[in-house]
Structure 1
């Protein structure tokens, strides 16, 4: 900064330093006004510069950083992208480059085997035939979980968590797009009772879901028992029931044409994102580190978990509005802002975008050392937020999987890096 406290004009002529400052500004926390100013300054300058740069390594870096800051990007996708960019750098180290390529391809082969085994499990469920209303997205689910942890030691964790999110996707579609309010009431009550003997109380198509959920939680309990943590299953069941109650509340709002307040919407929708449940389940495969205190911590709704849910909810509402309203869905959050504050749709969208920025600041704060819990646990909340930032930036890429989601899957699971 210059003597007047403004960002130096010399920065404008040093594009690499400008990009570095722009990337650093995404690590800001609440109250860091200088980094807020740095974000605005570098964003405006780089947008202007990007139109003037000739095709080059630097031009590609500027445009990509503007569209996807590193802090909010997917680690594996960022690694694959940077291999291609680094290869173009005139001073690259060939040994390091080759090692990075070998590492990427080695992990890709492991991930392919994992997703192949999960697809076999999914085919046995025969979802497309027995539950044709549900989105058939098991590979996309695995891609989601691959964002949370890609390291080879978390193979079993990815298997468990992918199955969890795939089952939740079916349940979400049941509440959102298929079940009647009476059927959903019975379904929710059955899971509250948590008794396999209550199958007679629910419709036939729901019995299939109920049975598979029970089998899944039995698998989780066995996995926890290996580490002496079988007693933690009670936390998962409670959080699963809480998530379904969130789905049920939204279904009741829609059925009754009820328009919630902002506060009501946020509290319920943070539950219905299922992010607290998914983050908690992600800890199962993390070995002895995942003590009962860790599970109690995540179930208490800590700041980083709540922030991850906020990012998911707000970004989903921003990009899914038109699609959701076509199939009848509870009114989105921006509508609550419009009604409660008497503002325009554009102003409401800006409020949602501000919510996302504030949530990222919360996550950045939680990542500062010393952390309340070991950093590997906070990383799960960080990484699941990164997935949403990448896949929900322009549209709901989980529902509409032919675009960015498909390209991501091809990059991470299909196409190896050329050595």
Structure 2
């Protein structure tokens, strides 16, 4: 286990279990839950913390009606690490506004910043590495083409989430076998087992991405963030359904991000 995760041992009791007193601090539990999504391989304590916090936060999201409960529900659906920053901010602002502890000036500036950025993107939309100026060098493109671990991990998330969400549609519309179906036939396993296996591989790929952000790298951070954002888009497109094939399911997200300004 990495030394960075050792600090979380303080949250355990003498028996090695997470302290029950933690559940009394919902905001603290939410912060711990968000932190677990930055885990890398070998940090079993954060795997345990994810299961622990999820178990205790789920009732908060369903049994209570408050800005905090809405925030918890939002986090359980898509944690910050898997959220596109601008879209996450768009959905968080009304939750924050309903919190009586919110900072009115901070909220005002957040809304203005979002609306100004939205107008910029309406005029010119942000093609991966192209258009990033001097930050992208020949070496940067060579790095991407070498298929480094973070790019490979992002591709795994893309491929497996796509196949898991869309394999039934693909069979019905194109009469072709999906990766899920092929794996089922090759290994003699059920659809449920394959979906679970693919889900575990996606979780491991997220750990690979997190590791690449921690370790020194030869490419600038903005390029790594492009790869991270690709994985975030895949989570948005395929977590609950095949929103790429059924593009109408994305209309609210697109409208919130690029068309509808935040009401001041």
**Normalising by the residue count of structure 1, what TM-score does the alignment of the two structures yield?**
0.58
Provide the residue aligned with 1:265 in structure 2.
Answer: none
Aligned residues: 253
Provide the residue aligned with 2:221 in structure 1.
Answer: 375
State the distance in 2 between where 1:385 and 1:50 align. Answer: 26
- The Cα offsets for residues 132-180 of structure 1, whole Å up to 9 and x where unpaired, read as xxxxxxxxxxxxxxxxxxxxxxx6xx2xx2xxxxxxxxxxxxxxxxxxx
Provide the residue aligned with 2:23 in structure 1.
Answer: 12
State the distance in 1 between where 2:211 and 2:165 align. Answer: 27
State the distance in 2 between where 1:372 and 1:35 align. Answer: 28
Query: How many angstroms does 1:62 deviate by?
Result: 1.2
State the distance in 1 between where 2:158 and 2:214 align. Answer: 22
* RMSD across aligned positions (CA): 1.4
Provide the residue aligned with 1:402 in structure 2.
Answer: 248
Structure 2 stretches lacking a partner, 5+ long: 1-11
Query: How many angstroms does 1:68 deviate by?
Result: 0.8
Higher-Rg structure is 1
State the distance in 2 between where 1:399 and 1:328 align. Answer: 12
- The Cα offsets for residues 69-117 of structure 1, whole Å up to 9 and x where unpaired, read as 1100111111111221221121222111111111111111122223xxx
State the distance in 2 between where 1:382 and 1:38 align. Answer: 23
Correspondence for 1:312 among 158, 183, 188: 158
> Is residue 42 of structure 1 aligned with residue 53 of structure 2?
yes
Structure 1 stretches lacking a partner, 5+ long: 115-154, 162-281
Provide the residue aligned with 1:96 in structure 2.
Answer: 106
Query: How many angstroms does 1:329 deviate by?
Result: 5.0
State the distance in 1 between where 2:220 and 2:118 align. Answer: 28
Provide the residue aligned with 1:111 in structure 2.
Answer: 121
State the distance in 1 between where 2:163 and 2:254 align. Answer: 24
Aligned 8 A contact 2:68 2:99 in 1 = no
> Is residue 390 of structure 1 aligned with residue 219 of structure 2?
no
Query: How many angstroms does 1:322 deviate by?
Result: 1.4
Aligned pairs for 1:20-419 within 5 A: 20-53=31-64, 55-114=65-124, 158=126, 161=127, 282-328=128-174, 330-403=176-249, 405-419=250-264
**Normalising by the residue count of structure 2, what TM-score does the alignment of the two structures yield?**
0.91
State the distance in 2 between where 1:94 and 1:399 align. Answer: 40
- The Cα offsets for residues 183-207 of structure 1, whole Å up to 9 and x where unpaired, read as xxxxxxxxxxxxxxxxxxxxxxxxx
